Amino acid sequence: MPPDAPSPHPLLAALEAWDLHAFSRPPEAADELLVWVVPARIADVCRYLRDEQGFERLSGLTSIDRYPLEPRFEAVYLLHSISRNIRLKLKVALPGADPALPSVTSVWEGANWYEREAFDLFGIRFGGHPNLKRILLPEEWQGHPLRRDFPVHGHKYTYQND
Amino acid sequence: MSDPEISTAAVQAEHEAPPPATRRMVLNMGPQHPSTHGVLRIILELDGEIVRQAEPEIGFLHTGIEKQAEALTWQQVVTITDRIDYLSNLGNNLAYVLPVEQLLQIEIPPQAQWMRVLLTELSRINSHVVWLGTHALDLGAMTVYFYCFREREDILRIFELFSGQRMMTSYIRIGGLALEPPRGWQQAVRKFNDALPSKIDEYEDLLTANPIFMRRVQGVGHVPLDRLLALGVTGPMIRAAGLKWDIRKAEPYSGYEKFDFDVPVYQESDVWTRYRVRLEEMRQSQRIVRQALEGMPGGPWKADAPHVVLPDREKMKTQMEALIYHFKIVTEGFRVPAGEAYVPTESPRGEIGFFVVSDGTAKPLRVFMRTPSFGNLQALPALFEGHLVADSVAALGSMDFVLGDVDR
């Protein structure tokens, strides 16, 4: 008798049953709960997860820059359900040229600053955000420092003798 | 001479304009305001004494710590985690090393785990006494401040004993601890810990049931629980709003499941209950420290992972292999297998966790710092709007944020 295949997490099964087209890769069980979402559907998926699956809070939102690979950016949503005590990670692959996503501020109010931060430091635009402007850096700042092609010392100094 | 008609019109316009009390005034609070605890600027729109709109402006302390982390080796990053939330340095160290150790798949020996819990709880007490002192000072109670800083001094001396540093300790490292615990540390910790409950009683004598203090805090800064959750608030503010959620209990890390402590919960979600929650948390932390002291297991204080942990000095002088490992770790650091990890932990302010991404090299690809103050500060308009300006200082203090933690 062949060994049983690991049964998928009930949450992943529920997501698959809900709408498979919202996911860029089919949800599969791994060490942690991770789901890849189609960029345009992120707000729908988040609303479904909050209303139907009990994810009351967005723990954090950030991005990873895979420069020089393409698709360059991965937007990462760290979701948490206190009532079910599980954490879920959503990921969205974004191109290097003009990365843009729908905002999830309508789902969780708290996404506001995290999206502003990702806009400020990575240059990812969030469509439908109520106040998308720089949050940590001054308004007149040039560039997005957390991109991998932005030098640690900034563009102003070269430090040739270091 | 002025035109009489124009001046009459001007006077008439002045009379027809709404009386000053209904006009909105924009007031700038900070970034150098003493009760903003650091450099936070809040733009208040006032209608008389009522705050109609509050807009926090952050970033004055932004030093690009997440960017710097990408230029340092994995172990070096520990030193900059001290600097984000400078009141809970050891808690930050722990929150950073846990996901990295998860990626490295190294086992931490029990003594190191218990020592980490003990030190993290001491820094929780440290953070809460600083909060209490400054919060009470904002509300006009000066004596509490001196009492609190007396205890803080004792805790900082203990940290100095362990690590040689009072604040930027970097004592919890990937693979265990930075140094062997010093001789006589038990006596120092026990002396402080045994005296602490009576010190907390002293604070309570001054504040709890003090009518002036109660008037300033009861019913002030109320926000319902679901709004707080939607805003991303964590920690004592959530527990003061009636949700029994503590990451040390819900998702135990570093052996917290072996300790016996209670999670204080109150329902009212105002400045008063936040004060009660934090005071009770100090007592619970004291209990945890006592248990850690009494049950401290023996054995090694760093992991058996020669490619990550620096070898003993003695071994370096006698074993070639140890010398090679030492040279490799010091010159080029150690590689961390490609992958990502996030381990949430409970800081004095709420959920702190580091989302670390490795591409298999000796430096992190990305270190995202999910800091509690950043999430909590978003709730500031909800606490301010519709309330008196005078209450805003009390509400601000009850949030207990650290600007270094917000801006990173």
Question: Using a CB-CB distance cutoff of 8 angstroms, which residues of chain A are in contact with residue B377?
Answer: 113
* Contact of B295 with B186, CB cutoff 8 Å: no
Residue A1 pLDDT class (50, 70, 90 cuts): very low
Token digits of residue B274: 């936040």
- Residues B65 and B275: their CA atoms lie apart, in Å, by 31
**Identity of the residue in A108, A135, A145 whose CB atom sits nearest the CB atom of B59:** A135
Single out the residue of B278, B28, B9, B369 nearest to residue A78, CA to CA: B369
**For residue B1, what pLDDT is reported?**
45
Residue of B nearest to A118 (CA): B368
CB contact under 8 A, A110 and B366: no
Residue B282 has pLDDT above 50, yes or no: yes
Instruction: Answer with the residue of higher pLDDT: B60 or B23.
Output: B60
pLDDT, mean over chain A? 83
**Identity of the residue in A59, A111, A148 whose CB atom sits nearest the CB atom of B370:** A59
Task: Give residue B403's identity as a one-letter amino acid code.
Answer: L
- Half-sphere CA count of B311, side-chain side, radius 13 A: 19
Residues 1-30 of A with CB under 8 A from B: none
Instruction: Identify whether A99 is preceded by a cis peptide bond (ω within 30 of 0).
Output: no
B125 touches chain A (CB under 8 A): no
Residue A125 has pLDDT above 50, yes or no: yes
Question: Using a CB-CB distance cutoff of 8 angstroms, which residues of chain B are in contact with residue A82?
Answer: 229, 243, 245, 250
CB pairs under 8 A between A and B: 84
Q: pTM to 2 decimals?
A: 0.87
Residue A154 has pLDDT above 90, yes or no: no
- Residues B291 and B403: their CA atoms lie apart, in Å, by 32
Residue B248 has pLDDT above 80, yes or no: yes
Question: Using a CB-CB distance cutoff of 8 angstroms, which residues of chain A are in contact with residue B252?
Answer: none
A36 touches chain B (CB under 8 A): no
* Contact of B120 with B146, CB cutoff 8 Å: no
B253 touches chain A (CB under 8 A): no
Task: Give residue B298's identity as a one-letter amino acid code.
Answer: G
CB contact under 8 A, B378 and A60: no
* Contact of A76 with A101, CB cutoff 8 Å: no
- Residues B250 and B240: their CA atoms lie apart, in Å, by 17
Q: What is the DSSP string of B326-391?
A: HHHHHHH-----SEEEE--EEETTEEEEEEEEE-SSSS-SEEEEE-HHHHHHTTHHHHHTTSBHHH
Query: How many residues appear in chain B?
Result: 408
Residue of B nearest to A149 (CA): B67
How many other C-beta atoms are found inside a 10 Å radius of the C-beta of residue B388?
16
- Residues B281 and B278: their CA atoms lie apart, in Å, by 5
Residue A27 pLDDT class (50, 70, 90 cuts): low
Express each pLDDT in A88-110 by its tens digit.
888 999 988 888 899 999 999 88
Mean pLDDT of A121-136: 89
**Identity of the residue in A78, A134, A150 whose CB atom sits nearest the CB atom of B342:** A78
Residue A29 has pLDDT above 60, yes or no: no
Residue A40 has pLDDT above 80, yes or no: yes
**For residue A5, what pLDDT is reported?**
53
B338 touches chain A (CB under 8 A): no
Express each pLDDT in B189-221 by its tens digit.
999 999 999 999 988 888 888 888 888 888 888
- Residues B192 and B386: their CA atoms lie apart, in Å, by 43
**For residue B59, what pLDDT is reported?**
86
ipTM of the complex: 0.86
Q: Which residues contact B339 (CB under 8 A, 6 or more apart)?
A: B103, B357, B358
Residue B121 has pLDDT above 90, yes or no: yes
Token digits of residue A59: 């723990």
**For residue B404, what pLDDT is reported?**
85
Q: Which residue has 């707080």 as its token pair?
A: B228
**For residue B125, what pLDDT is reported?**
93
B206 touches chain A (CB under 8 A): no
Residue to mutate among A56, A80, A114, with most B CBs inside 10 A, is A80
- Chain B nearest C-alpha distance from A136 (Å): 4
Residue of A nearest to B376 (CA): A110
Residue of A nearest to B342 (CA): A78
B243 touches chain A (CB under 8 A): yes
Token digits of residue B157: 């001396």
**Identity of the residue in A64, A87, A137 whose CB atom sits nearest the CB atom of B366:** A64
- Residues A129 and A133: their CA atoms lie apart, in Å, by 9
Helices (H), B54-141: 65-69, 77-81, 89-104, 110-138
